[in-house]
């Protein structure tokens, strides 16, 4: 993100309004490689291709805040790899981390990774180090420390159904697992910040939040996310595009000030549930509209979203979730043109 975009993001979080409304998209391997015309495997395994794809995105859409921006990642294999998970990388499909916890008895023997040397993490950091001069030459800076959240990582290490069952059947063991992952994440986020002093934001992604009831979220989610966000950065960003009505009232207590949700809830409802204390990044349907719709449909739905807002403060227009596969440039252009048509209200 440029200095101008970073300033706009922080001002939006504070509640300042601008015209047109700011636009931001979470972009990573599901969208960038094929949009750029390469396979997902090429995108992961060739640092020059990775850099050129990201540079093309900021060049083609200079008015879009790409979040987190120049995301160095290996899909869902990123953090599980540090714990020793076997990772599969099909040529043009999303990578997959295989579970390594096969029974609750394996939890206590799970290693505590060193993010400086374990798994794919040092490759991620070194990719960013090598690219940093080119990123800054393009007028951008590395702004976010990024990681999947503790519940998300646990679900990959153990299997989603198995992890959710563990929460119910052996909560003590589940808490030990989450504590171990949270400790690792604190080290991993700190290492990113130490490596790149330009980082002034934390971005966590965790859809498993949406599978928990209120009691479970307050026990297994809330305290650990609070711990992770309890740090001195300007932007504290959370992504959960699964259900969020249960957790939304607790998001202010979580410590975040920026939230990306799914599209099964309105921004107005979320503003009410969070008492308008958190800036929202959303939320037209990502697949059915932004990816599969015609440009005129993208424009129509975007206009409807803007017109529906009871309060346009603390809103960054986007899709509900990350940028999905298959979104064409003309649909992004249609989104942006629709946004430009709305003056400050």
From 212, 210, 204, select the one nearest 167 (Cα to Cα): 212
- The C-alpha atoms of residue 249 and residue 272 are separated, in whole angstroms, by 9
233 burial class (0-12, 13-18, 19+ CB within 10 angstroms)? middle
Q: How far apart are the first and last CA of the chain?
A: 26
pLDDT at 343: 79
Q: Are 92 and 40 in contact (CB under 8 A)?
A: yes
- The C-alpha atoms of residue 216 and residue 39 are separated, in whole angstroms, by 39
Counted residue by residue, the chain has a size of: 345
Residue 103 lies in a domain: yes
Residue 43 lies in a domain: yes
Residue 320 lies in a domain: yes
Domain extent for 141: 3-340
Q: Are 317 and 301 in contact (CB under 8 A)?
A: no
Residue 196 lies in a domain: yes
* Tally of domains in the chain: 1
Residue 286 lies in a domain: yes
- The C-alpha atoms of residue 297 and residue 158 are separated, in whole angstroms, by 40
Which tokens is 144 given?
């976010």
Residue 260 lies in a domain: yes
Output the furthest CA–CA distance in the chain (Å, rounded): 59
Q: What are phi and psi of 319, to 5 degrees?
A: -100, 165
Q: Are 201 and 145 in contact (CB under 8 A)?
A: yes
Q: 250: which DSSP letter? A: G
Which tokens is 128 given?
């960013």
Q: 104: which DSSP letter? A: G
Q: Are 124 and 78 in contact (CB under 8 A)?
A: yes
Place of tokens 């989104």: 335
Q: What kind and span of H or E run contains 34? A: helix 32-36
- The C-alpha atoms of residue 115 and residue 186 are separated, in whole angstroms, by 10
pLDDT in tens, 218-272: 999 999 999 999 999 999 999 999 999 999 999 999 999 999 999 999 999 999 9
Residue 345 lies in a domain: no
Which tokens is 296 given?
């005129």
CATH of the domain at 218: 3.20.20.210
Q: What kind and span of H or E run contains 284? A: strand 279-284
Per-residue pLDDT of the chain (345 residues; tens, 9 = 90+): 999 999 999 999 999 999 899 999 999 999 999 999 999 999 999 999 999 999 999 999 999 999 999 999 999 999 999 999 999 999 999 999 999 999 999 999 999 999 999 999 999 999 999 999 999 999 999 999 999 999 999 999 999 999 999 999 999 999 999 999 999 999 999 999 999 999 999 999 999 999 999 999 999 999 999 999 999 999 999 999 999 999 999 999 999 999 999 999 999 999 999 999 999 999 999 999 999 999 999 999 999 999 999 999 999 999 999 999 999 999 999 999 999 999 776
From 215, 206, 207, 216, select the one nearest 174 (Cα to Cα): 216
**Under 8 Å CB-to-CB from 328, ≥6 apart: which residues?**
35
Q: Are 331 and 295 in contact (CB under 8 A)?
A: yes
Helices (H), the chain: 3-14, 32-36, 40-45, 47-60, 78-82, 121-137, 150-158, 160-169, 171-195, 214-220, 222-229, 251-254, 267-273, 295-308, 329-340
């Amino acid at each position: 993100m440029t200095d101008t975009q970073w300033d706009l993001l922080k001002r939006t979080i504070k509640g300042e309004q601008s015209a047109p409304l700011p636009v931001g998209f979470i972009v990573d391997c599901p969208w960038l490689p094929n949009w750029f015309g390469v396979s997902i495997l090429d995108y992961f395994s060739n640092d020059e291709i990775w850099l050129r794809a990201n540079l093309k995105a900021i060049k083609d859409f200079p008015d879009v805040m790409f979040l987190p921006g120049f995301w160095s990642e290996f899909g869902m294999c990123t953090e599980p790899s540090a714990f020793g998970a076997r990772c599969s990388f099909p040529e043009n499909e999303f990578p997959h981390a295989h579970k390594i916890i096969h029974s609750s008895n394996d939890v206590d023997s799970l290693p505590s990774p060193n993010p400086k040397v374990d798994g794919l993490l040092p490759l991620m950091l070194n990719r960013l180090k090598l690219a940093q001069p080119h990123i800054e030459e393009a007028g951008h800076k590395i702004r976010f420390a990024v990681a999947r959240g503790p519940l998300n990582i646990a679900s990959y290490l153990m299997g989603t159904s198995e992890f959710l069952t563990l929460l119910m059947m052996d909560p003590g063991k589940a808490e030990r697992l989450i504590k171990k992952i949270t400790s690792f994440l604190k080290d991993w986020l700190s290492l990113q910040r130490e490596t790149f002093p330009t980082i002034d934001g934390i971005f966590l992604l965790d859809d498993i939040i949406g599978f928990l009831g209120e009691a479970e979220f307050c026990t297994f989610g809330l305290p650990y996310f609070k711990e992770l966000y309890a740090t001195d950065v300007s932007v504290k960003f959370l992504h959960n595009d699964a259900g969020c009505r249960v957790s939304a009232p607790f998001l202010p207590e979580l410590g975040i000030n920026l939230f990306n949700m799914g599209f099964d809830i309105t921004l107005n409802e979320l503003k009410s549930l969070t008492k308008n204390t958190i800036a929202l990044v959303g939320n037209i349907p990502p697949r059915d509209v932004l990816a599969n719709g015609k440009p005129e449909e993208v424009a129509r739905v975007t206009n409807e979203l803007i017109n529906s807002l009871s309060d346009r403060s603390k809103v960054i227009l986007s899709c509900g979730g990350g940028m999905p596969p298959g979104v064409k440039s003309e649909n992004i252009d249609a989104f942006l043109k629709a946004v430009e048509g709305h003056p400050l209200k």
